[in-house]
Amino acid sequence: MNALATATPLAVLLELVAAWLLVGLLGLARPHRIAWVARLLFPLGALVALAVAGMGALALSADFAMQGAVLPLGLPDLPFHVRLDALSGFFLLLLGSAGAGISIFAAGYFREGEGTAPGLLCLQYHVFLASMAMVILADDAYLFMVAWETMALSSYFLVTTQHRLPEIRRAGFLYLLMAHVGALALLLCFGVLHGGSWQMTFDAMRGATLAPAWASVAFVLALFGFGAKAGMVPLHVWLPEAHPAAPSPVSAMMSALMLKTAIYGLLRVSLDLLHVGPWWWGLLTLGLGLGTALYGAIFAAVQTDMKRLLAYSSIENIGLILAGIGLALVCRSFDMRLLAALALAAVLIHAFNHAFFKSLLFLATGSVMHATGERSLGKLGGLIRRMPWVAMLALIGSLAIAGLPPLNGFVSEWLLLQAFLQTPHIPHAFLNMIVPLGAAIVSLTAALAGYVMVKFYGVIFLGQPREPALREAHDAGVLERLGLIWLALGCVLIGIFPQVALDVVGRVTLSLVGTTVQHGQSAWWMTPVASNQASYSGLWLWLGLLLVIGATFVLVRLFHHGRLRRTPPWACGYPWQTPRMQDTAEGFGQPIRHLFGPMFRQQRELPLPSDLQPRYSVLISDRFWHALYLPLARLTRRIADSLAFLQGGRLSIYLLYSFVTLIFLLVCVR
């Protein structure tokens, strides 16, 4: 492979990455001018994102051949290698299409006086986008880790935008710590994958022959490293802290885009760099994924902070994606290619869907926070009257993430469920008994997700305002609305044409597992298994819903219009209703706290008899934090204190350490 000399899609992508960096650097030209940064540079970044999506879509076309190149960068004997294939093209399509909507929203969202200077924020934002693109394009371990660490550092600075607040700095430190723990595991993984050749290109790793034990070590390290970045339980503790701390566009990018780079990395290692592994690889990933999905859904149901609720919802969706990857690995180990392709197609489509509906909801919460100054569910309510645009678009995102047809979230969850229902064909007695239980857990998780979204949308937008200040709330601005509309359109269009999404991911499944899933004989019906078992048509369902709504409207206008008598509703014997009579976020989550009580660490605060306005509150915390991370932190501090004498502050002692280390290396390293 030589450096690119023609305007190939890969060359264009590298130029677009450079364009993102240039847009970021232009922010430093006028670092305190919000009009320069938000009204010009962020829209330019959105245009670059659209171009990235276009190049990614081109890589998924039938006549596209894999492209690679060696860049004149890096170290003398370790240059950077880049590669564009179907897998990287799909994730670039995801990155660009969702990133464009987030950038347009950010152009209307960011204001002066919000921590980091606007120009510096612009640089960090676009470096973050460029580094994610380079993670996806990297074709050697060196470039991958450079881009991975750049992504982690730039996102850390974005999380700590409000760095003057101590809780923001704590959240940023936790995020950076977990990011580097995961990166260390990835370094060890690549160290195993080269198989003793010391060639760090992915081509060399594909050709390496590893002993089964070492291949398993590499897989477990990859699962740990990428799982830490994705938010897999029990490595998830940073995610509910970082998302509330970050500005809403940053939260949207982290959840919708950055978590998907971890999914990309896991797919690249497990299905591309490693050869076919034993079935327990898939079972381990499947078990962790299902546990993560259920854990995230349960914790989301009891949250009272809307951004923490969405953060736990991201954990739930990442769990579903990991479960699909695990099922694909199990099926591939038994050479069941069609079922592996079905599970992998569900994974890819759900990753794409999650990028759209989760960024839509995070951005909607950003509009709510700007309009009200609140993110606590206990202080919101009735915003549908004050913010009709945000309420309407957030409703689309809420229905999509709940997995309801005919929106995009239903498509991928339905495909995943179809894959689980085919697992009795696996030629292994133990797996035939265990794996089908995943269908029940997926169904329970989907039901809990619907429950969570009823709470999220109902408490924020319906009912009466719980605080007087909410009556002064205002709707989102023009640029914010455009970003929300773009993401909502993605949710709707994928729901209407799911067979197109299935065809798009077919190129990826063909390259990774050797076959594709056909959507069926008809262009309007999706029958991934068999037409006599399961079929779905988003278009016909949409047409049916529109027909029912239209017929109802016509009938009401013809036969009942003007005959209705308006009168105050019955108020249950009370002369008036007040906001305190509405169901609260704590009350809505009470059944879940009761059913899954052992999973939570609960602290209740009861009102005093003298309180004029008594309030009952429950503080929910994560048992993993108290049972695993706090003891580990105390142990680490104790070890560090015991070794503090080594840092004596004398230069001669430090030179002695260096001399002893050099002698040790000369003796032991050959």
Per-residue pLDDT of 579-591, as tens digits, reads 777 777 777 777 8
Task: Name the pLDDT band for 612 (thresholds 50, 70, 90).
Answer: low
Give the pLDDT of residue 636: 84
Task: Name the pLDDT band for 58 (thresholds 50, 70, 90).
Answer: very high
C-alpha distance from residue 91 to each of 342, 343, 399, 411, 615 (Å): 18, 17, 24, 19, 47
Asked if residue 614 has pLDDT above 80, the reply is no
**Residues 364, 394 contacting (CB under 8 angstroms):** yes
Asked if residue 218 has pLDDT above 90, the reply is yes
Lowest mean pLDDT, pick from 105-114, 201-210, 472-481, 509-518: 105-114
Tokens 């847009």, residue located: 23
What mean pLDDT is reported for the chain? 86
Asked if residue 112 has pLDDT above 70, the reply is no
Task: Name the pLDDT band for 521 (thresholds 50, 70, 90).
Answer: low
Asked if residue 70 has pLDDT above 70, the reply is yes
The C-alpha atoms of residue 640 and residue 252 are separated, in whole angstroms, by: 37
Give the pLDDT of residue 1: 44
The C-alpha atoms of residue 177 and residue 4 are separated, in whole angstroms, by: 37
- Mean pLDDT within 184-195: 91
- Mean pLDDT within 60-67: 84
Contact partners, residue 271, CB within 8 Å, separation at least 6? 328, 329, 332, 344, 512, 513
* Domain ranges for the chain: 1-194
- In this prediction the pTM is 0.91
- Mean pLDDT within 485-508: 91
**Of the ranges 39-43, 552-556, 570-574, the best mean pLDDT one:** 39-43
Give the pLDDT of residue 181: 92
The amino acid at 600: F
The C-alpha atoms of residue 64 and residue 320 are separated, in whole angstroms, by: 30
Asked if residue 534 has pLDDT above 90, the reply is no
CB-side neighbour CA atoms (13 Å) of 33: 11
Per-residue pLDDT of 129-159, as tens digits, reads 999 999 999 999 999 999 999 999 999 999 9
